[in-house]
C-alpha cells in the first residue's frame, strides 16, 4: 500500500475487502427473508402463532436502531474493530435462535441477531469507501445489488425447502458456515484499514435516544392495526414516546462534543437532499414490493409460487440498473443525471400501473415492474456513493449508516402505508392497488423535484489520505 496525497490500494487489496463485504451482505440479506416461509412450522413447534410476526419484526427493529451507532463507532475505532465482534455476536445469536424452545426466546434471539446484523450493512458498505474511489464505486455497488437480489430470491426458496424437508432450526445453523467465511475474509481483508475519524468520546446518550425513537416508531408501524387499533392509546403512546425521544435527540446533538449525527454533515444542503431522495425512493420501492405479489394473486389469480417468480424481472432489472448506473457514474463522475433519469422512469411506470391496475393480462404489471425496477436500480448505488462523497472519509461510516437507517425507516413507512391504503379501499381491491401505486408514483415525483433543485455531486477519482 502506498501513501501519497491520496491512498492507493492494489487490485488484490481491494478484492480482499470486497469479498468480505459481499459475504456480509449475503448473510444480512438472507436473514431478512429466509424465515418467512418457515413461520408456520415455527408456530407448530413452539406455539404462540399470533406473535410469530415478531420473529421478523424484532430483527428489523434492532438492526435499524443500531446501524447509526455502528457507523459512528467504525469511523472512530476502525471498520474491523467493529465488524468482527458484531459478526461473532450475530453468529452466537444464530445459535440461540436454533436452540430456542419458546416463541419469546426466539423473538429475543432474533432481536440479538439484529443487534449484530446492524453492523453487517453499515460498516461493510463504509469499508468500500475506504478502498475504492467514489468514481469507481458504482461498479462494485452493482455486485452488492446483485448479491442482495440473489439473497432476496434464494432466501424464501431455501427457507421453504429447509423447513419442509428438515427443521426450521437448520435455517439458523446454516448461518454458521457462511458467517465463518465472512469472519475469516473480514479479519484478513480489513486488516490494513486505519480508523478514518478522530478518537473522541462515543455519544452513548445520543445512541440511546436514537434507539428509543426508532424502536418506538417501528413498533407503532408493526403493531398498529394488528395488536391494537391505529387510533388507540397504545398507538398514541408509542408515537408520543418516539416524538419525545426524537426531540431529546435533536437537543442533545446540539450539545454533544462528538454527536452521533455531525452538525457539519447535516448542514450540507446536498447531503440533506440525498437523505430526502433516499427516503422517498425507498418508501416507494418497499411499497411496490409489498403491493406487487398481492396484486398478482388477488387481481390476476396467480398462485404464490407464480407471484414469487413474477418478481424475478423486477429484481433482475434492479441489478441491471445498479450496474448501468455504476458504469455511467464511473465514466462521467456525475451522479445527479443518473438519479433524475431513474426517478423519472420509475415514476412513469408507477403512474401507468396505477391507471391500469387490472389490465386482464399479467404481462402488463410484470413488464412495468421491470421498468420501475430499472429506475430504482439507478438510485440505490448512486445515492449511497453521492452521500459518501459529500461526507468525506472522516465521516464515511456515519454518512453510510445514516443513509441505510433512512432507507430502512422509509421501507417500513412505505410497506405500512401501502397496506393501509388497501385496507382503506376494502373490499374494492382494484381501487386499493390503484391508490397504492399512485402513492408510489407521487413519492418518486417528490424525490425527482428534490433531485432537480440539488447541486451536482462530483465523484472523486482518488481516496483521501486524511478525513
Domain boundaries, the chain: 1-201, 204-255, 264-467
Question: Do 1-201 and 264-467 share a fold?
Answer: yes
Distance CA 8, CA 192 (A): 12
Cα dist. 288→136, 157, 393, 426, 433 in Å? 30, 21, 34, 18, 10
| Domain 1-201 class, CATH top level | mainly alpha
Neighbours of 413 (CB within 10 A): 19
The architecture of the domain spanning 264-467 is Up-down Bundle (1.20)
pTM of the predicted model, to two decimals? 0.73
The answer to whether 228 and 59 have CB atoms below 8 angstroms apart is: no
Total number of residues shown for the chain = 467
Distance CA 234, CA 241 (A): 11
- Determine which helix (DSSP H) or strand (DSSP E) holds 463, and give its type and residue range: strand 463-464
- 422: which residues sit within 8 A by CB, 6+ positions away? 291, 294, 429, 432, 433, 436
The answer to whether 163 and 45 have CB atoms below 8 angstroms apart is: no
DSSP summary character for residue 464: E
Sign of CA dihedral 144, 150, 153, 158: negative
Distance CA 418, CA 293 (A): 13
Distance CA 447, CA 349 (A): 15
Neighbours of 367 (CB within 10 A): 14
Q: What is the pLDDT tens value at each position of the chain, 467 positions in all?
A: 444 344 555 667 677 777 777 788 788 778 776 776 676 677 778 876 556 667 776 787 788 778 778 877 777 777 777 888 988 999 999 999 999 888 888 888 988 998 888 887 777 767 766 666 666 666 666 677 677 767 766 776 777 777 777 888 998 898 899 888 888 887 876 666 666 555 666 777 887 888 788 778 777 776 776 677 878 898 899 999 999 999 999 899 888 877 777 777 888 888 999 999 999 999 998 888 778 877 887 888 877 566 666 777 887 788 788 888 888 887 888 889 999 999 999 999 999 999 988 777 888 999 999 999 999 989 988 888 888 788 776 677 778 778 877 887 787 778 777 877 887 787 888 999 999 999 999 999 999 999 999 887 766 554 454 44
Amino acid at each position: 500500500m502506498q501513501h501519497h496525497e491520496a491512498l492507493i490500494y492494489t487490485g488484490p487489496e481491494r478484492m480482499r475487502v470486497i469479498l468480505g463485504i459481499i459475504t456480509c451482505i449475503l448473510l444480512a440479506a438472507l436473514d431478512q427473508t429466509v424465515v418467512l416461509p418457515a413461520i408456520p412450522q415455527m408456530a407448530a413447534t413452539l406455539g404462540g402463532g399470533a406473535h410469530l410476526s415478531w420473529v421478523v419484526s424484532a430483527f428489523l427493529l434492532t438492526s435499524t436502531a443500531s446501524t447509526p451507532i455502528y457507523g459512528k463507532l467504525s469511523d472512530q475505532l476502525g471498520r474491523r474493530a467493529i465488524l468482527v465482534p458484531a459478526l461473532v455476536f450475530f453468529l452466537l445469536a444464530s445459535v440461540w435462535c436454533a436452540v430456542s424452545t419458546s416463541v419469546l426466546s426466539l423473538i429475543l434471539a432474533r432481536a440479538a441477531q439484529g443487534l449484530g446484523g446492524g453492523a453487517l450493512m453499515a460498516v461493510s458498505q463504509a469499508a468500500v469507501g475506504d478502498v475504492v474511489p467514489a468514481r469507481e464505486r458504482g461498479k462494485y455497488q452493482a455486485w452488492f445489488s446483485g448479491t442482495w437480489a440473489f439473497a432476496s430470491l434464494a432466501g424464501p426458496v431455501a427457507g421453504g425447502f429447509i423447513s419442509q424437508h428438515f427443521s426450521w432450526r437448520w435455517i439458523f445453523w446454516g448461518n454458521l458456515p457462511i458467517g465463518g467465511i465472512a469472519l475469516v475474509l473480514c479479519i484478513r481483508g480489513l486488516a490494513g484499514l486505519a480508523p478514518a475519524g478522530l478518537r473522541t468520546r462515543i455519544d452513548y446518550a445520543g445512541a440511546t435516544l436514537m434507539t428509543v425513537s426508532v424502536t418506538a416508531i417501528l413498533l407503532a408501524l408493526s403493531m398498529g392495526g394488528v395488536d391494537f387499533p391505529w387510533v388507540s392509546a397504545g398507538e398514541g403512546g408509542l408515537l408520543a414516546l418516539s416524538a419525545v425521544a426524537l426531540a431529546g435527540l435533536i437537543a442533545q446533538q446540539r450539545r454533544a462534543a462528538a454527536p452521533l449525527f455531525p452538525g457539519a454533515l447535516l448542514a450540507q444542503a446536498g447531503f440533506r437532499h440525498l437523505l430526502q431522495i433516499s427516503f422517498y425512493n425507498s418508501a416507494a420501492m418497499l411499497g411496490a414490493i409489498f403491493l406487487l405479489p398481492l396484486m398478482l394473486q388477488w387481481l390476476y389469480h396467480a398462485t404464490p409460487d407464480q407471484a414469487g417468480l413474477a418478481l424475478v424481472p423486477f429484481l433482475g432489472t434492479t441489478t441491471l440498473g445498479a450496474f448501468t448506473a455504476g458504469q455511467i457514474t464511473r465514466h462521467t463522475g456525475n451522479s445527479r443525471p443518473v438519479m433524475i433519469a431513474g426517478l423519472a422512469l420509475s415514476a412513469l411506470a408507477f403512474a401507468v400501473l396505477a391507471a391500469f391496475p387490472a389490465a386482464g393480462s399479467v404481462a402488463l404489471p410484470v413488464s412495468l415492474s421491470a421498468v420501475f425496477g430499472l429506475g430504482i436500480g439507478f438510485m440505490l448505488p448512486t445515492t449511497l456513493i453521492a452521500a459518501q462523497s459529500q461526507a468525506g472519509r472522516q465521516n464515511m461510516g456515519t454518512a453510510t449508516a445514516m443513509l441505510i437507517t433512512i432507507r430502512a425507516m422509509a421501507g417500513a413507512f412505505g410497506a405500512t402505508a401501502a397496506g393501509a391504503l388497501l385496507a382503506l379501499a376494502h373490499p374494492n381491491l382494484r381501487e386499493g392497488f390503484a391508490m397504492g401505486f399512485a402513492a408510489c408514483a407521487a413519492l418518486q415525483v417528490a424525490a425527482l423535484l428534490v433531485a432537480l433543485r440539488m447541486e451536482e455531486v462530483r465523484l472523486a477519482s482518488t481516496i483521501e489520505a486524511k478525513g
